[in-house]
């Protein structure tokens, strides 16, 4: 179960990072809600997270419902804040080197990560 929980998607605000939800009030009772995640998350999960945020916005603003006016989904490329990846393993190849640790470093500075983004435009309603 530890491995499964480490891979589970977590609903969260974008705050300082690329992934998570963002929202913007565009008028009286009208909001844009965006949810961005890595490309290994299903579209279904990302839509679910975006709709959850839509419901939270309705409740926070004293409304019971929201109507989806439009939705958009697209593949995006996200900036990574990781500059280097280190890979360590036990040696191999040459006879007698099986227990010698081997470490390699790879620069990934500036590499972009594929992601998915869903944007909903909603109208809050009590009917």
Asked whether residue 70 is domain-assigned, the answer is: yes
The answer to whether 116 and 72 are in contact (CB under 8 A) is: no
Instruction: Check residue 119 and report its DSSP letter.
Output: E
Q: Give the pLDDT of residue 3.
A: 38
Comparing CA positions, the residue from 126, 116, 125 lying closest to residue 50 is 116
Q: Give the pLDDT of residue 51.
A: 97
**Could you give the C-alpha distances from 98 to 6, 16, 43, 59, 105, in angstroms and in order?**
30, 43, 43, 60, 20
Asked whether residue 86 is domain-assigned, the answer is: no
pLDDT single digits (tens) 19-76: 899 999 999 999 999 999 988 899 999 999 999 999 999 999 999 999 999 999 999 8
Q: Give the pLDDT of residue 114.
A: 86
Alpha helices in the chain (DSSP H): 2-7, 43-60
Q: Give the pLDDT of residue 41.
A: 92
Burial call 27-56: b when 16+ CB within 10 Å, e when fewer: eebebbbbbbbeeebeeebbbebbbebbee
Q: What percent of the chain has pLDDT over 70?
A: 68
Tally the domains of the chain: 1
Asked whether residue 67 is domain-assigned, the answer is: yes
- Domain extent, residue 120, equals 11-79+112-125
Q: Give the pLDDT of residue 5.
A: 39
Decide: residue 58, CB within 10 A, 0-12 exposed, 13-18 middle, 19+ buried.
Answer: buried
Q: Give the pLDDT of residue 4.
A: 39
Asked whether residue 73 is domain-assigned, the answer is: yes
pLDDT single digits (tens) 64-91: 999 999 999 999 887 665 565 555 555 5
Q: Give the pLDDT of residue 38.
A: 87
Asked whether residue 91 is domain-assigned, the answer is: no
Asked whether residue 101 is domain-assigned, the answer is: no
Q: What is the rounded CA–CA span in Å between residue 127 and residue 106?
A: 56
Q: Give the pLDDT of residue 9.
A: 73
Asked whether residue 88 is domain-assigned, the answer is: no
Residue 103 has pLDDT above 50, yes or no: yes
Asked whether residue 17 is domain-assigned, the answer is: yes
pTM summary value: 0.71
């Amino acid at each position: 179960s530890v491995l499964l929980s480490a891979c589970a998607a977590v609903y969260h605000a974008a705050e300082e990072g690329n992934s998570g939800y963002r929202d913007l009030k565009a008028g009286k009772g009208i909001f844009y809600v965006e949810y961005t995640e890595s490309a290994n998350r299903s579209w279904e999960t990302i839509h679910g997270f975006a709709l959850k945020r839509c419901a939270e916005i309705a409740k926070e603003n004293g409304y019971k419902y929201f109507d989806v006016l439009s939705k958009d989904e697209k593949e995006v490329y996200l900036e990574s804040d990781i500059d280097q990846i280190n890979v360590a393993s036990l040696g191999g190849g040459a006879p007698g080197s099986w227990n010698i640790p081997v470490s390699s470093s790879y620069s990934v500075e500036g590499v972009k990560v594929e992601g998915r983004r869903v944007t909903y435009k909603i109208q809050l309603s009590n009917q």
